Amino acid sequence: MSLQLGSIAPDFEQESTHGTIRFHEWAGSSWVILFSHPKDFTPVCTTELGAVANLKAEFDKRGVKPIALSVDDVDSHKRWSVDIEETQRTKLNYPILADVDRKVSGLYGMIHPQASDTLTVRSVFVIDPNKKVRATFTYPASTGRNFDEILRLIDSLQLTDSHSVATPANWKDGDEVVIVPSLQDPAVLAQKFPKGYNAVRPYLRLTPQPNR
């Protein structure tokens, strides 16, 4: 199954290191990043889980709940958590789903048969408070993910949801943004963007980030 952007993220009930997770209920009104790992006690995954734990305060500031997934069981996850905490010098402060029966992996299309029939790839799903999938991407097993980029992506989604803008290449929070092409009325533009804008081209109008 391949989830498209705008799809409702499938609900599920699955065991985790934080007990039974009923996904939609657990997510509540928060944003969520759901990210999968090939298996426990693997080196790249260990660094990734530690990286997210170290960034937990940044996710909290944005109203985002992280949740990881691996196809091993809860006891294995708990043993692995000790290694993660010791080697990455952090407390594992979010749940890891124990997807032994591959139920969640199947719902979210995390198993790619040409890569492996049994192990999940490094998938990421960014899910908004309406339970809609807003972004998804997949890395190979050999490459660790950049979670600073995931934070940047969430910053962009949250900004563009609340203002009539888009974010240009390599944008970071605080940089100029692009006014969406559908806005053409001068009075509306003046109201929405009191700091003004630079029309590089009629379709490319840059303005200071409006919530700054």
Q: Is 19 a catalytic residue?
A: no
Count Cβ neighbours within 10 Å for each residue of 132-150 and write b for 16 or more, e otherwise.
ebbbbeebebeeebebeeb
Tell me how far the alpha carbon of residue 131 is from its chain's centroid. 13
Tell me how far the alpha carbon of residue 203 is from its chain's centroid. 30
Catalytic one of 34, 45, 68, 111: 45
Instruction: Compute the Cα dihedral for 170, 188, 203, 6 and give only its sign.
Output: positive
Query: Could you tell me if 99 and 70 are in contact, meaning their C-beta atoms sit under 8 angstroms apart?
Result: yes
Name 89's Cβ contacts closer than 8 Å, sequence gap at least 6.
Answer: 50
CB atoms within 10 A of CB 211: 11
Which residues are the active-site residues? 45
